[in-house]
A = this chain, B = another copy of it.
Amino acid sequence: MYRSHNNGELNASHINKEVTLAGWVQKSRDKGFMIWVDLRDRYGLTQLIFDEQRTDKTVFEKAKSLGREFVIQVKGTVIERESKNANMSTGDVEILVSELNILNTALTPPFTIEDETDGGEDIRMKYRYLDIRRNPVKNSLLFRHKVAMEVRKYLSDLDFCEVETPYLIKSTPEGARDFVVPSRMNQGQFYALPQSPQTFKQLLMVGGMDKYFQIVKCFRDEDLRADRQPEFTQIDCEMAFVEQEDILNVFEGLTRHLLKELKGIEVDKFPRITYDYAMKTYGNDKPDIRFDMKFGELNSVAQHKDFGVFNSAELVVGIAAPNCASYTRKEIDALIDWVKRPQVGASGMVYVKCEEDGTFKSSVDKFYDQDDLKKWAEVTNAKAGDMIFVLSGPADKTRSQLSALRMELATRLGLRNPEVFAPLWVVDFPLLEFDEESGRYHAMHHPFTSPKPEDMKLIETEPGKVRANAYDMVLNGNEIGGGSIRIHDKDLQSRMFSLLGFTPEQAEEQFGFLMNAFQFGAPPHGGLAFGLDRLVAILGGQETIRDFIAFPKNNSGRDVMIDAPSAIDETQLKELYIKLDL
């Protein structure tokens, strides 16, 4: 046995005990007559002491050779520490070492193994195994495990069955780009890696599995934006004989359970808002509602005056930034510059100071009197001391610009506390969205999403207005999960494929197995999927997912630690009936 205890568990109750410990040398301080070593493992740090007076001479000499990150095993006696350290779980004791065994030496690590490291992103990724020794990364991985375990326990207790669906499946042109896998045994043919187990989980419902879940890797070969990974993990769920309400309740319950178990936070019933309301009120289908700043539409009160910019705009819309009336001209100008950046794209911004005395001072005083501005304040719910910011222009674009401003203001005002959690449901998503580039409708969620029956009458005439039984769970401005009630009728599914521009032959070739399955008694069903990486990061109070993934890839899809992808042998290619085409 390499150790009797780990490095996080010894305390005053162990004093005078003989112990064996093992771990890494976090640091070593050599005062000549005395050497202190902080010994580290996953569980914590324990202080070792080598004393010229009390320690065997050979052991003492060996201790002098210890460098950072050496792997050692020691035997010794737990003694009381003179200067106790209340910040360490083992801070009341230290180990007077009698035996020292160097299990492995270590080169000097290329960055410091400390909570705050001097290593940049690139070097940390190359030596990820050293990065994982650092508490922030190690704790993120331990936290991820806890989240996954709680998810599994909660769903299992509700009778959900985790079923493993295949990774080697069939490529479908719909949606994002597939990663493909050439088949050696099936010459000239390819598997695809799943973008999600969508069709399999639906087939499990046809198969009577009733309640399915799976924590599963999914794959998308897309150009990687920051904080996206080519392989990512979903909590994938599906239920049969359910309506939207049943699904929202189950997964709201799961999320409340996670918040309670992992963060000790009890949240109220989640608000539910429609997609339309979200877009009009927050300019965004994943609103951050940790703070208010709802949009106020000002067309009726700001148009038909002499201000041409507003008069000609499709939408005039404002928000009240709390306690910002004191902003200086310079601060306001900086914000105006911010919204004019190409990433936001506004052409200008109007502001109204709501003074403490109930009067208003605006950048458009020329066109609007106090009564006018009072109405603006009413519509945007502005209070004395607030500042109203107003944008105008085409409705969709302007909402999106104001949404960006709303988030920026919240950040500047410190309203985005990562330890505050404000989940909600956004429901009634549109079934379809028009894609200008291809000139046709695309499924907003995916082609298996069912339209609301009451909107079916619009499906041929105004397809863009048809709402779907689709919903997203939103947490702190992030979509953490989304799903829908599915189509379970073959004819409706065929009609949907045709609406999405599939020929009957294409639909048959790609999804024939699913439509075929629907003919043999498909139950009503629906589900959702959570993005585990994002969920864990948000619950962990972080903005970026990378520290919650043990071995992430960089923005070119490379694993710089193992140096993958890489070239493969000519013989390997030949066996797969492919050749390079560079």
Question: A residues touching B (Cβ–Cβ < 8 Å)?
Answer: 1-3, 6, 22-24, 40-43, 69-71, 73, 103-107, 109, 127-133, 138, 141-142, 144-145, 148-149, 152-153, 156, 161-171, 173, 177-193, 199-200, 203-204, 206-211, 217, 219, 221, 223-224, 230-231, 233, 241-243, 245-246, 488-489, 513, 517-524, 549-551, 553, 556-559, 561-569, 572-582
A577: contacting residue among B70, B203, B568, B580, CB under 8 A = B580
Known contacts A127-B520, A133-B207, A520-B129: does B2 contact A559 (CB below 8 Å)?
no
Instruction: Give the complex CA separation of A499 and B202 in angstroms.
Output: 51
Known contacts A152-B149, A162-B148: does B563 contact A209 (CB below 8 Å)?
no
A519: contacting residue among B2, B107, B128, B207, CB under 8 A = B107
Whether the pair B489, A104 counts as a contact (CB closer than 8 A) is: yes
For A164, what are the chain B residues with a Cβ–Cβ distance below 8 Å? Answer: 144, 217, 233, 549-550
A41: contacting residue among B141, B165, B208, CB under 8 A = B208
Instruction: Give the complex CA separation of A568 and B190 in angstroms.
Output: 7
Instruction: Give the complex CA separation of A550 and B204 in angstroms.
Output: 9
For A141, what are the chain B residues with a Cβ–Cβ distance below 8 Å? Answer: 161, 163, 209
What is the copy number of this chain in the assembly? 2
A521: contacting residue among B70, B565, B580, CB under 8 A = B70
Whether the pair B190, A161 counts as a contact (CB closer than 8 A) is: no
Whether the pair B180, A42 counts as a contact (CB closer than 8 A) is: no
Whether the pair A189, B567 counts as a contact (CB closer than 8 A) is: yes
Whether the pair B557, A183 counts as a contact (CB closer than 8 A) is: yes
Instruction: Give the complex CA separation of A43 and B200 in angstroms.
Output: 21
A2: contacting residue among B40, B165, B241, B558, CB under 8 A = B241
Whether the pair A138, B242 counts as a contact (CB closer than 8 A) is: no
Instruction: Give the complex CA separation of A497 and B181 in angstroms.
Output: 29
For A566, what are the chain B residues with a Cβ–Cβ distance below 8 Å? Answer: 170-171, 189-190
What is the distance, in angstroms, from A43's C-beta to the closest C-beta of chain B? Answer: 8
Instruction: Give the complex CA separation of A185 and B556 in angstroms.
Output: 6
For A204, what are the chain B residues with a Cβ–Cβ distance below 8 Å? Answer: 129, 132, 550
What is the distance, in angstroms, from A311's C-beta to the closest C-beta of chain B? Answer: 48
Closest to A551 in B: B166
